[in-house]
Amino acid sequence: MQANKPTSNKLLKSINQQKVLRLIFTDGPISRVELAEKTGLTQQTITNIVNRLLQDRIVLEMTPTTSSVGRKPVPLIVDGSSMYAIGIEVAVQYIRGSLMDFQNKRIFEVKREKIDREGYPLAYMIQVVDELLQHVPDQSRLQGIGCSIQGLVDSKQGIVLYSPGLGYRDFPLRDRLEEKYGLPVLLDNDVNLLALVENLNGRLAASQNNMTLKLDYGIGGAIVANNQLCSGANHVAGEFGHYKVVVGEQAVKCHCGGKGCLTTIASISSLRRSGWKLDDFRTRVLEQEPEAITRFGSMIDGIGLALSNMITMLNPEHVLVTGALVDAFRDTLIDAVKERIASSVPDTCKGVQIICLPETPNESISAAGLVMNDFFEVPLEQLSL
């Protein structure tokens, strides 16, 4: 017990500092007196913490508003314009990186399309980060690298569990990047990250129960129930791509080891396996070419079936549908899926709203948000130590 004490004190100190920092971030401009009131910490502790944050140039003192009645307290704010984060979107076909400041302003963006398999994705990611680093106004103020990954991720361990498109299985991406750059690195699955952003302040903010489905090179999903993201025992909850939608002789073997999965008929990778490029496929569907129409019909059937079953099971208020396939077909796809759902879910679930984003968001920006969120996070989990 005795040996643990210094660690506990140090932890408590860091928890208090994070509490103060987070409050300045969320409630700033805020004075030292208000910080003491809101945290329950003593004036002296607040003064010590604020002095440290001022010294590290993490917070700034603003000019107090003048008043005839005595001295006004000095408001404090986070110095967001001089702290930076790098966000990387690791997609199957490209790597996109954004250099952001802590006021969410983008300073620079880089995108590298995959040319061949050699060195993809790690060597490409390193190229993108290296290029962004040249644009950081002050490298000592760069707080970390966040990554949005098209694949299954254990974000606590920083491991890409499985991504057939990226060629990763149990790959320790966080450790590799931290060793290379000496900065904190954070990873999350692309759809989970999108669902978190949209639930926090986007189109899903008004709903407590919702699903996000991304129809892209592969198919990914996220489920939010009672405002909580369901990750499941092995971080694979919400994997809509492996929902069974085909049975019997038509069922094709999937890379997951199963058969008849949605991803085998409704993903861009499944189109490619049948020799279709997305752009050509889109043109041929819009020209009503019979072969393309049949294929598009089976995609819609599969998506409609998988979603109808998920809606019946989870009774969400909203379903957000996004991804390159949705961007390519927009209303043609959404309206057809809506029709399938309306005709097959029980009356009790018919209130569900199917929504889509104007276009699939730039996930490198959300990935940089992982760094900012981590920077201001209060390490509550460590309290149990």
Q: How far is the CB of 261 from Zn ion (least distance, A)?
A: 3
Angle, helix 290-314 to helix 331-344, in steps of 10 degrees: 50
Nearer to Zn ion, 256 or 349 (CB): 256
Least separation in angstroms between residue 163's CB and Zn ion is 13
Interface residues with Zn ion (CB under 5 A)? 242, 254, 256, 258, 261
Distance in angstroms (rounded) separating the CA atoms of residues 10 and 376: 18
Least separation in angstroms between residue 259's CB and Zn ion is: 8
Residue 121: asked if its preceding bond is cis (omega within 30°), the reply is yes
Query: What is the nearest approach in angstroms of Zn ion to the Cβ of residue 32?
Result: 56
Question: At closest approach, how far in Å is the CB of 206 from Zn ion?
Answer: 33
Closer residue to Zn ion in complex, CB, 203/244: 244
Phi, psi of 361 (to 5 degrees): -70, 160
- CA dihedral of residues 38, 44, 50, 55 (deg, nearest 10): -170
Cβ neighbours of residue 117 under 8 Å, at least 6 residues apart? 167
Give the Cα separation of 9 and 371 in Å (integer).
26
Least distance from Zn ion to the Cβ atom of residue 26, Å: 41
Nearest to 332 by CA among 360, 356, 362, 316: 356
Distance between CA 143 and CA 141 in Å, rounded? Answer: 6
H helix runs in 153-289, sequence order = 173-181, 190-201, 263-266, 268-273, 278-286
The residue among 97 and 218 lying less far from Zn ion, judged by its C-beta, is: 218
Q: Residue 194 or residue 265: which is nearer to Zn ion going by CB? A: 265
Please say which residue, 172 or 258, places its beta carbon nearer to Zn ion: 258
CB closer to Zn ion out of 272 and 330: 272
